[in-house]
Chains A and B, each alone.
Chain A
Amino acid sequence: MGGSYAIIALGYTIIYNGTNIINFAQGEFVMLGGLFMVTLTGKFGLSIFPAFLIAVAATALVGLLVERLAIHPLRNADVMSVIIVTIGMSILLRGIAMLVWGKDAYAAQHFSGDKPIEILGATILPQSFWVIGIMILVVVALQVFYRFTITGKAMLACAVNKTAARLMGVNVENMLMLSFVLSGALGAVAGIIIAPITLAKYDAGVMLGLKGFCACILGGLGSGTGAVVGGLLLGVIESLGAGLISSGYKDAIAFLILLIALFLRPQGLLPLKEMMMRQESH
C-alpha cells in the first residue's frame, strides 16, 4: 500500500511545485488509471504491458484536459478558487466515471498470478512486489528527469520561481501543462498497480487520493523525497494500526496521523524545500 501512496503523493508534489495548488482531482486520476486498465485488459483483451501504457497515456490526456479546461482559465485567479475548481473537477470526473463504468467494483488482473508467496513466514501477494518495484522505478525515472533533462530542470526552475524561470526563457505555461500530464500519468500508474489488490471502482479515488495527500503532508508538502518517505511510512503505520486497533478504524489512522503531523510538525518530516529556500535567501 505504502508504495502506491508514495506514487500518488508524488503526483500531488509535482502539481504543488508547479502551481502552488493542491489538486483534489489527483485521486480521480488514480481511479481512472485502474478503470482504464480493467477495460483494456478485460473488454479489449490486451495483455498487461500494452494495456498499462495505453491506460497511463489516456489518464495523462485527462490530466491535460483538466489543466486546459479548468486550471488554465484561472491562471490569474487566487489559489483558493483554483483549489475549489479541482474539487469540482474531481466530482465531475467521478460522476463521468460512474456513468461510463457504473457503480460496480471491478477486479483487475494481477500482473503475475494471485498466488501468495511465503517469505520468512509472511504471506505476500506477488502484486506487492510489483508495487514496490514500480515505485522505485518511478522515483528513479523522476530523479533522472529532473536532474539530467532540460525540460526537467526547467520544471524545477518554475517550481522555485516562476517569474525568474520565464525571464530565462522557460515556457512556464507549457511547464504547467506538463506538470498536469505527468501527475495524471503518475496517478494512473498508482491506480493500475493497486487495482488488483483493492478493486477498481468509480469512487475508489477519493480515499486513495486523500491518503496520498496525507502522505504528502506527512513528508512535507512540495518535497519529492518527503512524498516517498511519507507514503511508505503511512502504509506501514496503517497496516500496523489496523492489526493492533481495529480494521474498521484503519482509514481513520491515516487522517489522525495527518492531524498530529499538522499540529507538531507542519513543515513535514523532511523540510527539504524550506532548506532549499533558506539556502537561496542566503
Chain B
Amino acid sequence: MKKTLKSDYGILIAFTALVSVVPFMLANKYYISVLIFVAINMIVAVGLNLLVCHAGQISLGHAGFYGIGAYTTAVLTTAHHCPVWVDTLIAVALAALIAWIMGTPTLKLKGHYLAVATLGLGIIMHIVFNEWEKVTGGPSGIVGIPGLSIFGRGIGSDLAYYYLFWSFALLTLLVALNLVKSRVGRAMRALHGSEVAAAAMGINVSGYKVKIFVLSAALAALAGSFYAHYVTFISPTGFGLSFSILLLTMIIVGGAESVWGAVIGSVVLTSLPEFLRGFKDYDVVIYGFILVAVVIFLPAGIIGGLRILKERIGRRGTAESA
C-alpha cells in the first residue's frame, strides 16, 4: 500500500512538471484556454470519481452542482457586489449543504437511488436557471461577471488563469490520492466491495457515502465558480443533463478504478470536441458510440487498458529474457 502511494506521488510530481512546462511548448495560444477548461473539468471529475469508485454510487446531476457554483458566483458578484473568492466560498458551501440535505435520506437506501435523486435535482436546477428570470437572467443568462484577483490584483492573462486553475486541480488530485489511501479511503473501498461486510466491520456506511457525496458536490461547485469567473458570462445551456452525462463519461472512459482515470478522462473528453469539429452534428453519435464501446470492450476504461497493456508487455519482456 505504501509503495503504491509513493508511485502515485511520483506520477503526481511528473505530472505537475509536465503541466508547468506545457504552456511554453504550445504553438497556439488557443490551446491554453482549452487546457484551462481541462483543469476546471478535472476538479469536477476527480470528485465524481471518488463518488463512483469509492462510494459505488453514480450521480446524474453533477451539472446541477456545477451550475449552482457558477450561478451563485454570477448572482453574488453582479447583483450584490460580493468580493471575489468570498462568492466562491459561499457557492461551495451552498452546494455542500444541498448535497448533504439530499444525500442523507437517499444514501440510507440500498440501490441506485442517489442516481435517481441527483438526476431529478439536476433537471430541476436546469429548469430553475431557465425560468427564474429575475435572478438568473433566464435563457440569456448573466453577463459581466468579474474575473478573479489575488491580493487585489486582477488576473488578466490566460496564462495566469492556467497556473491558478491547474494549481487547484493538482491540489484536488493530491487530496483525492491521499483520501483514497487513508483510513477513510479503505473504508470506502470496503463499501464498494460489500456494504454488509463493511457495516459489520463497524464502518458507518451511509455516513461515509454522504461525506464523499458532499465533497464531490463541493468540488463541482468550486469548478463551476471558477468557470463563471473565467468565462465572465453564463447561460443555462452548459448546465443541463448532457453535461452531467459528459462528466460521467469522463469517469468511465478514463477508468473508474483509479483517481488517475478521472485525469485521463477529463483530458480526453475536454479536448475531444476540438478534434471532432469537422464532424459537426455527428459528434453526439460519436460520444454515444465511444461510451458504449468503452463499457463493453474496456470495462476498466483507458487506465485499465493501459495497465493490461503494461502487464502484457512486462510478461513478454520476462519471457524473452528467460
The answer to whether A89 touches B56 (Cβ under 8 A) is: no
Within 8 A of A (CB), among B218-254: 241, 245, 248-249, 252
A262: chain B residues at CB < 8 Å are: 105-106, 113, 116-117, 120
B127 contacts which of A70, A213, A251, A263 (Cβ < 8 Å)? A251
The answer to whether A94 touches B116 (Cβ under 8 A) is: no
B130: chain A residues at CB < 8 Å are: 248
Within 8 A of B (CB), among A68-127: 69-70, 73-74, 77, 79-81, 83-85, 87-96, 98-99
Tell me, yes or no, whether A256 is within 8 Å of chain B by CB: yes
The answer to whether B285 touches A206 (Cβ under 8 A) is: no
Stretch touching chain A among B31-39, B66-74, B177-185, B288-296:
B288-296
Tell me, yes or no, whether A177 is within 8 Å of chain B by CB: no
Who on chain A is nearest to B109 by CB? A266
Tally of A interface residues using CB under 8 Å: 41
A-B contact count (CB 8 A): 117
A210: chain B residues at CB < 8 Å are: 119, 123
A88 contacts which of B123, B292, B299 (Cβ < 8 Å)? B292
The DSSP consensus for interface residues of chain B is helix
Knowing A74-B296, A217-B116, say if A252 contacts B121 (CB, 8 Å). no
B56: chain A residues at CB < 8 Å are: 80
A217: chain B residues at CB < 8 Å are: 116
The answer to whether B124 touches A255 (Cβ under 8 A) is: yes
> Other than the known A255-B119, A256-B120, what 15 A-B pairs have Cβ atoms closer than 8 Å?
A74-B295, A80-B58, A83-B115, A84-B248, A84-B252, A85-B292, A87-B245, A88-B295, A91-B245, A92-B289, A98-B281, A210-B119, A252-B123, A258-B120, A262-B113
Q: Which residues of A contact B (CB under 8 A)?
A: 22, 69-70, 73-74, 77, 79-81, 83-85, 87-96, 98-99, 206, 210, 213-214, 217, 246, 248-249, 251-252, 255-256, 258-259, 262-263, 266
